[in-house]
Amino acid sequence: MDKWITFDCYGTLIDWRLGMTQALEIVSTGNAREIMAHYRRVEFEVELEPYQLYRQVKSRTVRRIVDELGIAMRPGDEDILTVTMPFWPVFDDSNASLRALKSLGYKIAILSNVDRDIIAGTLRHFDVVFDLIITAQDVSSYKPRDAHAKKFLEVSGVKPGNWLYAAYDLEYDLQAAGRSLGAGCVWVNRDRKESTDTSFLVANLPDISALPEVATQYFSHSQFG
């Protein structure tokens, strides 16, 4: 029986904060930090609107923020994030851990709030081939809605106890979809955040270096327990 580990991509495997900050500095020097402070809230508002491609979500989010803050930005510069996303750097621990997981025989998948063409550019950073990739474009929906995870279950046919979900975002990925649909949840807590709602987690890790060991222990216990 196949054992699967699903990942969020940007934030979990790819350093979205560094990539986004550098991109925003290109078009709005000195304002990246202020724009970033509002980004999560505004992007979530845009994603709640009728479905649109992520390329549009990103651009509309940036434009809405700078308009709210009164920051000048040239027409078209709001597209900088999706233009640069394929070049955002991979975390140092990502490739080694992904290789280790594949060598152990596990299948790996990405569930991402992104368009297919954007993720295609990002995949060039990885040393491994993912067994399954599900984007927002594939399901016409954005996390924290559970369409990505439900599509994964449908396509993979994975059984309870054979699915581990590793993600940077506790709310968008793990609390919203992973826990409710039966995944073993691993918080890739790169920002060392604290939360009162972590009792359901299999592990709380600072990066994914230890994920192969966590996965081996989890799948072993689920098989015999």
* pLDDT tens digits along 209-222: 999 999 999 999 86
The two tokens of residue 179 are 């826990």
70 three-class SS? coil
Residue 138 · residue 113 · CB < 8 Å: no
Is residue 179 within 8 Å of 200, Cβ to Cβ?
yes
Token code pair at residue 161: 């106890």
Predicted confidence at residue 75, as pLDDT, reads 97
Whole-angstrom Cα Rg for the chain: 18
Q: Tokens 């549009």 identify what position?
A: 56
Write down the pLDDT at residue 176.
78
Give the separation between CA 17 and CA 23, rounded to whole angstroms: 10
Q: Measure the CA–CA gap between 210 and 181, rounded to whole angstroms.
A: 24
Three-state secondary-structure class, residue 31:
coil
pLDDT digits (tens, 9 = 90+) for 20-64: 999 999 999 999 999 999 999 999 999 999 999 999 999 999 999
Q: What is the pLDDT of residue 177?
A: 76
Bridge partners for 10 per DSSP: 14
pLDDT at 225: 44
Q: Which domains does the chain have, with CATH numbers?
A: 4-15+87-224 (3.40.50.1000), 16-85 (1.10.150)
**Which amino acid is present at 17?**
R
Dihedral of the alpha carbons of 35, 36, 40, 46, in degrees to the nearest 10: 30
- Contact between 66 and 28 under an 8 Å Cβ cutoff? The reply is yes
Closest Cα to residue 158, out of 203, 101, 107? 107
User: Quick one: three-class SS letters along 118-183?
Assistant: HHHHHHHHCCCCCCEEEEHHHHCCCCCCCHHHHHHHHHHCCCCCCEEEEECCHHHHHHHHHCCCCC
Q: pLDDT for 57-100, tens place per residue?
A: 999 999 999 999 999 999 999 999 999 999 999 999 999 999 99
Could you report how far apart the first and last alpha carbons of the chain are, in Å? 16
Residue in the structure block whose two tokens are 């996390």: 143
Is pLDDT above 60 for 224? Answer: no
Q: What is the pTM of this model?
A: 0.95
Q: How confident is the model at residue 179 (pLDDT cuts 50, 70, 90)?
A: confident
Residue 223 has pLDDT above 70, yes or no: no
CA distance 161 to 184: 7
